[in-house]
Amino acid sequence: MAGVASKIRFRDPQVEMAHGAGGKASRRLIDGLFAPILFESIPAPLGDAAHVSVNGTCVALTTDSFVVRPLRFPGGSIGELAVNGTVNDLAVCGASAQALVVSYVLEAGLPTEILEKEVRAMAAAASRAGVVIAGGDTKVVEHGKADQMYITTSGIGHLIPGLSISPAAVRRGDRILLSGPIGDHGITILLARGELDLDADLRSDTRSVLPLVEALADAAGAGVHWMRDPTRGGVATSLNELAHDCGLGILLAEDSIPVRDEVRGACELLGLDPLHIANEGQFLAVVAAEHADAALKALRATPGGSEAAWIGEIAEQPAAAVLVTTRYGGGRIVDMLVGDPLPRIC
Amino acid sequence: MRFVDEFREPELIARTAGEIRRLADPQRRYRFMEVCGGHTHSIYRFGLKDLLPPNIELVHGPGCPVCVLPMGRIDDGLSIAEHPGVIFTAFGDMMRVPGTHGSPLEYKARGMDVRIVYSPSDALKLAQNNPERHVMFFAIGFETTAPSTALTLMRARTLGVHNFSIFCNHVTIIPAIRAILDSPDMRIDAFIGPGHVSTVIGCRPYAWIAQNEAKPIVVTGFEPLDVLQSVVMLLRQLNQRETKVENQYKRVVPWEGNRAALKAMAEVFELRPYFEWRGLGFISQSALRIRDAYAEWDAERRFSVPGVRVTDPKAAQCGEVLKGVLKPEQCKLFGRECTPEHPIGALMVSSEGSCAAYYNYEHRKTPALASLGA
């Protein structure tokens, strides 16, 4: 509210890489600094897209920046990510992307050939996702002041009828649905950096999830209570945010979570948890139990949805936390990622 | 996934857990120390405590190289990062460990050139590719990682790479186990012995634990079935009043160890007269330093290092937790001032540290499992 001094709770003395890693530190920066100053009048919790009323019509609005290195990797590139990422942020907020605007920050010395490839990749991805790129802006910074190129896309979408997504709608007994195998993107990028001397036949999963979200909306409608695309910080971070926002517990059955052998293998070697690894073409949905079977059937019948699976359910306990259970009866709490995933040595 | 899934097979795990329940005498309490941080991590990651009867307690040992490193050493290492032209390299585990003026990652955020490497030989490659810079590798670890540091130094000398050095913090496991056994508040019945360390040193060095201290010890792998099988083997020894060294991790650990690795270590390293361990204090002949023949590549001799000693905050009870006297959640700071995001003690930093493992995987779990009827 105007005139009221906002209470700033962000006490870290400087910005660290962890504040951009999508985990706890990111959340602290948003909740402790951005939200009290910028979004005071907007009721919490913050989702992947904002709902804004324009002349009485509600639209969804979002923005996302892409700073990936390397620019190209098996299965995709920064341009493709920039389109799909924003389309997906809108999709999991129950909106169908209509138009994007794009902003480039380019480092002086960037070969035109590389730029052109990425612009073409964006055009192709936009055409596949059925969205228009309606405008843009370009800035160039001195050589050495940026890492080749950064892309920001902002998107506007109309709300998919019959969907109403909110952590407040999540109930005990709801089922948790995952659209496909996790960790492909994050591990692909880690390997593409070439620092590990590891090879695996893996591709980024970058894609628009809108067709899958639409299929889910058709099959389960108001039975869909919440959705999120588990990008940085992975499934564990997205579900911890949900648990925190709704105050309920999330129980995951470890065996039911689809993870490719290549991803599991890399995670085992590096001491990482697939639940913390980034995805760019998957989404999580919480669906009322009575719509569960229809929802899964619809997803699996949609191209790209054949590996969708139930991975868990909502419970009273552990309050505001995520518990993973193993087939042999053990369990562990899975927290948000703290900082970037760092490999263990022994 | 081959060689992994076999050791996570639910039926075998259930059968082994049943065997443990059958062997454990309900009238007595068992306290087994798992020496390695890797074991601690597995125990929490796979929820193995949930499979053990309540009278078997697993106590976390000193085998987490990041955890036992005193803050002064981190400060000393980071002081080298401040020299112009130096690239500071370390394993990912080290990056969030706090020094007095911040962790390596915070130094990086302030503009120092700090990089994660996956092996010391990657750091050497970095030095070869950046001849105008000096690359310093912050070496940590027990005998598991010391051979690769030794081989890298031998290679640096052979290749004549002069813009490369090692800040050596390698420690040895046996004196740490001895310090724990000598501790007056020690109440351990048996040891789940080091796995990866033993691939290098073999099983013989543990003989005194069984013979002189009369404690069973089983060298153990890191998969769920490995740890549970090791508990079975320890219970059998205790039930039969035996105390011996057994090798559960035969698929990886030869009884005699790895001679080539031991030879490389002997070529490059010698024992320090004493070294400070976080939580355990000074332990004589418990760490390695670089021999004179390799002095040129010894960062401690090449740079002037302040050699500071930093005492841990009084309220932090890392030492008691490290010795197994206190459980992580019994420390006054656990989960309040000290969390994985803002670690005060090193046990909260490394994912192998018992506090971090407990915080990440165990904390808040009990009521949830109880509500499931588990």
Residues A300, A320, single domain; the answer is yes
Structure tokens that stand for A94 in this block? 């129950």
Q: What is the β-pairing status of strands A57-66 and A50-54?
A: antiparallel
| Omega of the bond leading into B216 within 30 degrees of 0 (cis) | no
> pTM here?
0.86
Q: What is the CATH number of the domain that holds A150?
A: 3.30.1330.10
Residue B139 has pLDDT above 70, yes or no: yes
- Tell me what pLDDT residue B373 has: 42
Nearest of B192, B81, B188 to residue B138 by alpha carbon: B81
- Tell me what pLDDT residue A147 has: 93
Nearest of B127, B131, B139 to residue B164 by alpha carbon: B127
By C-alpha distance, the chain B residue nearest A336 is: B360
- Tell me what pLDDT residue A43 has: 60
Residues A125, A244, single domain; the answer is no
Residue A17 has pLDDT above 70, yes or no: yes
Cα separation, B48 vs B228, in Å, equals 8
- Tell me what pLDDT residue A247 has: 93
Q: Are A106 and A146 in contact (CB under 8 A)?
A: yes
Cα A102-A107-A113 angle, rounded to 5 deg: 75
Residue B108 lies in a domain: no
Residues A91, A219, single domain; the answer is no
- Tell me what pLDDT residue A42 has: 64
Identify the residue among B96, B197, B337 best suited for mutation to test binding to A, counting A beta carbons within 10 A and taking the highest.
B96
Tens digits of per-residue pLDDT, A194-208?
777 777 889 999 999
Tens digits of per-residue pLDDT, B238-282?
999 999 999 999 999 999 999 999 999 999 999 999 999 988 889
Tell me the residue range of the domain where A60 lies.
Answer: 47-159
Residue A345 has pLDDT above 60, yes or no: no
**Average pLDDT over chain A, rounded to whole?**
90
Residues A135, A261, single domain; the answer is no
- Tell me what pLDDT residue B374 has: 37
Percent of chain B whose pLDDT exceeds 70: 97
Residues A218, A328, single domain; the answer is yes
Residues A326, A202, single domain; the answer is yes
Residue B189 lies in a domain: yes
Q: Are A236 and A336 in contact (CB under 8 A)?
A: yes
Q: What is the CA radius of gyration of chain B?
A: 21
Identify which has the larger pLDDT, A182 or B310: A182
What stretches of A173-248 adopt beta strand conformation (E)?
A: 175-178, 224-228
Contact A331 B48 (CB under 8 A): no
Contact A335 B341 (CB under 8 A): no
Cα separation, A118 vs A76, in Å, equals 10
Residue A260 lies in a domain: yes
Cα separation, A22 vs B143, in Å, equals 36
Beta bridge partners of A207: none
Neighbours of B207 (CB within 10 A): 12
Cα separation, B41 vs B350, in Å, equals 10
Residue A204 lies in a domain: yes
C-alpha B107, offset from chain centre:
24
Q: How confident is the model at residue A28 (pLDDT cuts 50, 70, 90)?
A: confident
Q: Give B254: exposed, middle or buried? Use CB within 10 Å, 0-12, 13-18, 19+.
A: middle
Total domain count for chain A?
Answer: 2
Identify which has the larger pLDDT, A98 or B358: A98
End position of a domain, from candidates A137, A159, A181: A159
Neighbours of A11 (CB within 10 A): 9
Any CB–CB contact under 8 A between B313 and chain A? no
Residue A123 lies in a domain: yes
Residues A153, A177, single domain; the answer is no
Residue A260 has pLDDT above 70, yes or no: yes
In this complex, the residue of A197, A265, A330 whose CB is nearest that of residue B50 is A330
E strand or H helix at A238: helix A234-246
- Tell me what pLDDT residue A45 has: 62
Q: Which residues of B touch A333 (CB under 8 A)?
A: 360-365
ipTM of the complex: 0.78
Any CB–CB contact under 8 A between A11 and chain B? no
Tens digits of per-residue pLDDT, A271-300?
889 999 999 999 999 999 999 999 999 999
Q: How many CA atoms lie within 13 A of A340 on its CB side?
A: 13
Average pLDDT for residues B93-119, to the nearest whole number? Answer: 89
Cα B116-B3-B206 angle, rounded to 5 deg: 75
Q: What is the CATH number of the domain that holds A174?
A: 3.90.650.10
Cα separation, A258 vs A276, in Å, equals 14
- Closest CA of chain A from B113, distance in Å: 14
Percent of chain A whose pLDDT exceeds 70: 94
Nearest of B223, B233, B31, B360 to residue A328 by alpha carbon: B223
Q: How confident is the model at residue A251 (pLDDT cuts 50, 70, 90)?
A: very high
| Omega of the bond leading into A36 within 30 degrees of 0 (cis) | no
- Tell me what pLDDT residue B20 has: 97
Coil, strand or helix: which one is B320? Answer: helix
Q: What is the β-pairing status of strands B134-141 and B86-90?
A: parallel
Tell me the residue range of the domain where B37 lies.
Answer: 5-60+174-247
Residue A60 has pLDDT above 50, yes or no: yes
Structure tokens that stand for A219 in this block? 């099959």
Amino acid at A170: V
B76 secondary structure, DSSP code:
H
Cα separation, B106 vs B94, in Å, equals 12
Tens digits of per-residue pLDDT, B272-324?
999 999 888 899 999 999 999 999 999 999 998 888 888 777 788 888 888 77
Q: What is the dihedral of CA B338, B341, B345, B351, to 10 degrees?
A: 120
Total domain count for chain B?
Answer: 1
Q: Are A175 and A287 in contact (CB under 8 A)?
A: yes
Cα separation, B334 vs B350, in Å, equals 15
What stretches of B14-150 adopt beta strand conformation (E)?
A: 30-36, 56-63, 86-90, 114-116, 134-141
Residue B202 lies in a domain: yes
Any CB–CB contact under 8 A between B237 and chain A? no
- Tell me what pLDDT residue A24 has: 81
- Tell me what pLDDT residue A341 has: 66
Residue A109 lies in a domain: yes
C-alpha B12, offset from chain centre:
28
Average pLDDT for residues B219-232, to the nearest whole number? Answer: 96
Coil, strand or helix: which one is B19? Answer: helix
Residues A207, A104, single domain; the answer is no
Coil, strand or helix: which one is B265? Answer: helix
Residue B342 lies in a domain: no
Structure tokens that stand for A277 in this block? 């690894």
Of A74-83, B100-109, B153-162, B309-318, give the lowest mean pLDDT range.
B309-318
Contact A343 B372 (CB under 8 A): no
Cα separation, B203 vs A173, in Å, equals 51
**Average pLDDT over chain B, rounded to whole?**
90
Sign of CA dihedral B129, B130, B132, B136: negative
- Tell me what pLDDT residue A109 has: 96
In this complex, the residue of A25, A317, A327 whose CB is nearest that of residue B368 is A317
Q: Which residues of B touch A25 (CB under 8 A)?
A: 341
Query: What does the H/E/C string look like for A161-186?
Result: CCCCCCHHHCCCCCEEEECCCCCHHH
Residues A180, A143, single domain; the answer is no
Q: How confident is the model at residue A1 (pLDDT cuts 50, 70, 90)?
A: very low
Please name the residue that has the structure tokens 């585990």: B93
